[in-house]
Amino acid sequence: MIIQSAINILVVDDEDHICDIIEEALSSEKYNLMVTTDSQKALDYIETHPIDLVLSDLKMGDFSGTEILEQTLKIHSDAIVILMTAHPTVRTAISVLKKGAYDFLVKPFKLELLKTTIERALAHQQVTRENVRLRGQVEFLKIFNANTTGVEIEKILEMVVESCKNELDAIAVGLIEIDPKTGEPLNFYSATDTPEQKEIVCDEDTLSKFMGSRRTRPVIEAQRIKSKKNQAVRISIYQPILIRRNLHGIINIIIESRFGQITPGQLDILSILTNSAANAIANNNLYKDLQQSYLEAIHGLANAIEARDNYTAGHTDRVSILAGEMAEALGWDERKKYNLVMGCTLHDIGKIGVPDNILNKTSKLTEEETKIMRVHPKVGLQIIRGISLFKPAIPYIIAHHERWDGKGYPKQLKKEEIPIEGRLLSVVDTFDAILSDRPYRKGSTVMEAVSELRKYRGIQFDPELVDIFINLLRQGKIDLKEHYEIDEDLSGLDEIIISETVSV
Ligand SMILES: [Fe+2]
């Protein structure tokens, strides 16, 4: 039996007739009874079986019931022990209560008293165990609170895994998040005592237990193992994470238990934590959908702005792609790369405030017109500032016209004072502008654009980022044919000495 439900009671008394009376009195109740007159047998039983309550004689020949008491509490920390004696003294009573006995019955006692004492003891035990469950609910509330206060999904799922491990007293817990459409794993989370256990709880094969099935309850398997000095049972629990009946993941748990039991309370905790994982994933998906819708709307707006100037068509898309290659080379994580797409798409959104006659002017801008044009990063900031979803785009918008030498705008920031997002965008934004046709000039060649970047390396641009970009061109990682319809011989790039600090 893996899930414990009946109450296990051990009765030990060296007098046969006492055992018989107690057995008869309690047999009508729904208890799993083990009754014995043999104290050694009782000790063995305590060692090898689950126990909720022990009723023990205090003196059995030379054998003391305190040994039963101590052994029980050593192995079953929340078990109840009631001792019985025909020769009570206050000293003995105090002594055994101090050692952790729940109560002390003086023989002969009425069977009614025995029954009410046991009922009271089990009620007390129930409250203690409820407290454990409440602890699990506190964990849930922490996670729920994190869910509603904008904590990242990865952090929430890490909390779920840690809480499962603590609350179920597990040796290893893994959570595999999957794409419900393809069934492919998306992310793995784990909390384990050893690195080897991580492979077991994050084993993708466990997904097959739920693939294509409508199973909502956990699969529980038990296997007897040799653990340190004792025999133990390894319980594996596979808990599906379902959202609207679709499988979004699985929580794998390994518990090593001496008696191969998990309690209904532990399964309740698991169910609560699984629900919070499902809620977190569902919320995150909704958030991503919302973010995508916003991004599409803003993308449409960016395209509308580009459409005002025929010569910049496709600029933001190309810049996003070039910047994406740079981010890859810099080893940015997925979230930073997502923000980069957002930032590149929105970087010139402030041009909405620039009049058409300035935006489309074919001759050199006057001083006044240049002033108006240079306001676009600040206008962009004002547009975006009120939309919390787009906060990550701010450094791209506000800093893409700053210069390494501090002569850019709007804040005249210098070198590393300029956010990396702005420094990176500045390089690819300029490269794309040089390559693109303008009303007053034809687009330059790649080699010309590269020599321009080299010329202003350490003046207008972050020198290291220029080197990284040129290296990407040299390695053929920028598809010039696709984006610019250019089929240029770039072998001359090999002659450019690349700084040793490049970290591509
Ligand atoms: Fe701009």
Res 80: pLDDT: 94
Distance 377 CA to ligand 1 centre (A): 7
Distance 437 CA to ligand 1 centre (A): 17
What is the distance between the alpha carbons of residues 439 and 23, in angstroms, rounded to a whole number?
A: 102
Q: Would you say residue 495 has pLDDT above 70? A: no
Pull the structure tokens for residue 409.
Answer: 């705008």
Q: Would you say residue 504 has pLDDT above 50? A: no
Distance 316 CA to ligand 1 centre (A): 10
**238: nearest Cα among 202, 214, 263:** 202
What's the rounded mean pLDDT across residues 34-49? Answer: 92
Res 317: pLDDT: 85
What is the distance between the alpha carbons of residues 397 and 381, in angstroms, rounded to a whole number?
A: 7
Which segments of 151-263 does DSSP mark as H helices, in order? Answer: 153-167, 195-201
Res 480: pLDDT: 74
What's the rounded mean pLDDT across residues 477-502? Answer: 64
Distance 376 CA to ligand 1 centre (A): 7
pLDDT above 70 covers a percentage of the chain that reads: 89
Distance 289 CA to ligand 1 centre (A): 28
Alpha carbon of 422 to those of 96, 105, 322, 411, 435: distances in Å? 73, 80, 14, 12, 20
Distance 48 CA to ligand 1 centre (A): 75
What's the rounded mean pLDDT across residues 54-79? Answer: 91
Higher pLDDT, 139 or 255: 255
Cα 420 to chain centroid distance, Å, stands at 27
Q: Would you say residue 207 has pLDDT above 50? A: yes
Give tens-digit pLDDT for 157-169: 998 999 889 888 8
Which helix (H) or strand (E) segment holds residue 243: the answer is strand 230-243
Task: Return mean pLDDT, the chain.
Answer: 85
CB-count exposure of residue 53 (10 Å: 0-12, 13-18, 19+): buried
117-121, 289-293, 496-500: which range is least confident on average? 496-500
Q: What is the CATH number of domain 308-495?
A: 1.10.3210.10
Distance 330 CA to ligand 1 centre (A): 23
What's the rounded mean pLDDT across residues 279-296? Answer: 84
Give tens-digit pLDDT for 175-195: 999 998 888 999 999 999 988
Distance 105 CA to ligand 1 centre (A): 87
Cα 452 to chain centroid distance, Å, stands at 45
Cα 338 to chain centroid distance, Å, stands at 18
What is the distance between the alpha carbons of residues 26 and 32, in angstroms, rounded to a whole number?
A: 10
Cα 369–Cα 373–Cα 376 angle in degrees, nearest 5: 155
Confidence of residue 148 (pLDDT cuts 50, 70, 90): low
What is the distance between the alpha carbons of residues 346 and 257, in angstroms, rounded to a whole number?
A: 56
Helix (H, G, I), strand (E, B) or coil at 313: coil
CB-count exposure of residue 145 (10 Å: 0-12, 13-18, 19+): exposed
Confidence of residue 396 (pLDDT cuts 50, 70, 90): very high
**267: nearest Cα among 222, 232, 217, 233:** 217
Cα 195 to chain centroid distance, Å, stands at 18
**For residue 390, what is the DSSP state?**
G
Give tens-digit pLDDT for 416-442: 999 999 999 999 999 998 887 666 667
User: How many residues in the chain?
Assistant: 504
- Could you tell me the sign of the dihedral formed by the alpha carbons of 24, 30, 31, 33, in that order? positive
Q: Would you say residue 1 has pLDDT above 60? A: no
Q: What is the CATH number of domain 7-109?
A: 3.40.50.2300
Res 175: pLDDT: 95
Distance 486 CA to ligand 1 centre (A): 24
CB-count exposure of residue 263 (10 Å: 0-12, 13-18, 19+): middle
Domains 150-277 and 308-495 equal at CATH topology level: no
Confidence of residue 404 (pLDDT cuts 50, 70, 90): very high
Res 461: pLDDT: 94
Distance 423 CA to ligand 1 centre (A): 13
Distance 331 CA to ligand 1 centre (A): 25
Distance 339 CA to ligand 1 centre (A): 17
Q: Would you say residue 366 has pLDDT above 50? A: yes
What's the rounded mean pLDDT across residues 10-20? Answer: 93
Res 167: pLDDT: 83
Can you give the pTM of this predicted structure?
0.58
Pull the structure tokens for residue 349.
Answer: 């959104």
Distance 378 CA to ligand 1 centre (A): 10
Helix (H, G, I), strand (E, B) or coil at 260: coil
Distance 398 CA to ligand 1 centre (A): 9
Confidence of residue 331 (pLDDT cuts 50, 70, 90): very high
Contact between 461 and 404 under an 8 Å Cβ cutoff? The reply is yes
Distance 466 CA to ligand 1 centre (A): 18
Distance 352 CA to ligand 1 centre (A): 11
What's the rounded mean pLDDT across residues 91-107? Answer: 88
Confidence of residue 493 (pLDDT cuts 50, 70, 90): low
Distance 497 CA to ligand 1 centre (A): 30
Question: Residue 453, Cβ neighbours under 10 Å: how many?
Answer: 23
**502: nearest Cα among 461, 471, 475:** 471
What's the rounded mean pLDDT across residues 145-152? Answer: 67
What's the rounded mean pLDDT across residues 140-146? Answer: 69
Contact between 187 and 280 under an 8 Å Cβ cutoff? The reply is no
Superfamily of domain 150-277: GAF domain (3.30.450.40)
CB-count exposure of residue 36 (10 Å: 0-12, 13-18, 19+): middle
- Domain locations in the chain as residue ranges: 7-109, 150-277, 308-495
Q: Would you say residue 247 has pLDDT above 60? A: yes
Distance 358 CA to ligand 1 centre (A): 14
Alpha carbon of 496 to those of 286, 409, 410, 466, 471: distances in Å? 48, 30, 33, 12, 10
Could you tell me where the beta strands, DSSP code E, fall in 39-128?
Answer: 53-57, 59-60, 63-64, 80-85, 103-106
Confidence of residue 503 (pLDDT cuts 50, 70, 90): very low
